[in-house]
Amino acid sequence: MKKRLEGRTLDSLPARAGSWLRERIDWRPLAGLLAKKTVPVHRQSWIYVLGGAAMFLFALQATTGCLLMLYYQPAETTAHESVREIMTRVPYGWLIRSMHAWGANLFIATVTLHFLTVLWTRAYRKPRELTWISGMLMLFLALAFGFSGYLLPWNELAYYATLVGTKVPDAVPGVGGLLVHLLRGGPQVSGATLTRFYAAHVALLPLALGALLAVHLVLIQVQGLSLPLGMSPREVRDRRPFFNEFLLIDGCLWLLLFGLLATLAVLFPAEIGEKADLLKPAPEGIKPEWYFLFMFKTLKLVPETLGVALFALAALFFLGLPLLDRNAARERKSPALTAVFMVVALYAATFEMLAWADPGVRRPAETLTAETYGPVPSTVTLLLFWAVIGFLVFYLRRLVRENAHIRNLYRQEGQ
């Protein structure tokens, strides 16, 4: 037995494990399909990293969310206390929760930027209609993630913002009251609402987003990445292999995003806030999160029924955009649609700024201290952290250049 073990080297163990798996699972067809995936290199190639960045942030949200689930108690009497315990007693709980809070904002911002770039380059054109539709549905789910997660700390601001947000469907003729009751679990925002939002946030929405993401990735793999409208294939300088070059570039951005989230969490930790009191009057200046501000401002200026109808029509318009923009399918630009996009973007930006300008709820800022939150990283620790990230980014970029050089050598030998 001893001689038999001495004859096996440690280097052979991975090969033996791979051989064992190949005898039972033939993944060569899948590996061959994945190996063919390439990313076109041109002056706008940066747009291709946004989808991967959004997927990385979603994975990070799932990871930090699972850690928070170990301590969070989704009940009216315990939710706020469990959040306070996470922030003050759980080792580095303040860091995990703060990264989760900042990650939600950065995730929605990245998804929105990805949506805008796909829209502007007309990447939804034939044959990628289903890819666009699945992406739009994921954008709606991302907003639902933000809305459902906002209530979970059960603090004063979250409670009253949710009270206002769940009242909006009441403007829908006929079924408005039913929709409000379905969201709240009753006539008012209560512990039943908290339970429903928690179930949606940690189970229903992740399952739906995961299924759509799988469909989205399969469609991208089969169809490949599109070129911006009007760009000739001759303008493509190269086609970079995804799994040994472009994925490393994605990794550089992921490291920078991780560093940004950790830094924001340290410098600006998530607030605990005052526990929601259902008997107290709502404070003046309640606002939703930034990604709902332009809608919030619109509904304050126009009748709710009209506002809800306009937003529903806008959602249907963007969802069915590939079927409406027939010029894009013929590789032609549509000035009328471009004008519509510009007007919508200008409207959203203007109303966003108007909502920001409105006075909000005044509340004392919570200071991050070692006595309250436990160990707090020093400035030197943050600098060392960024030095490690900088080294890893430098190393990955070097690997990209080396792999590209080797690929070019093989190409020249083949010619």
**pLDDT tens by residue, 327-341:** 888 888 888 999 999
Q: Is the dihedral of CA 11, 17, 18, 19 positive or negative?
A: positive
pLDDT tens for residues 176-203? 899 999 999 999 999 999 999 999 999 9
Torsions phi, psi of 334, nearest 5? -120, 100
pLDDT value, residue 222: 86
Q: Is it the case that residue 114 has pLDDT exceeding 50?
A: yes
Alpha-carbon distance of 244 to 257, in angstroms, equals 21
The size of the chain, in residues, is 415
Reported as half-sphere exposure (CB side, CA atoms, 13 A), residue 325 has a value of 31
pLDDT tens for residues 238-275? 888 888 889 999 999 999 999 999 999 999 999 888 89
Q: Is it the case that residue 370 has pLDDT exceeding 70?
A: no
Domain ranges within the chain, ordered by starting residue? 45-236, 239-268+376-415
Alpha-carbon distance of 267 to 259, in angstroms, equals 12
CB 334 within 8 A of CB 325: yes
pTM for this entry: 0.89
Alpha-carbon distance of 172 to 160, in angstroms, equals 21
CATH fold label, 45-236: Cytochrome Bc1 Complex; Chain C (1.20.810)
Reading the block at residue 142, the tokens are 């991302």
185, β-bridge pairs: none
Structure confidence at residue 405 as a pLDDT band (50, 70, 90):
confident
Structure confidence at residue 7 as a pLDDT band (50, 70, 90):
very low
Rounded to the nearest 10 degrees, the angle between the axes of helix 49-69 and helix 205-223 is: 160
Q: What is the mean pLDDT of the chain?
A: 88
Q: Is it the case that residue 59 has pLDDT exceeding 80?
A: yes
Residue 47 is classified by DSSP as G
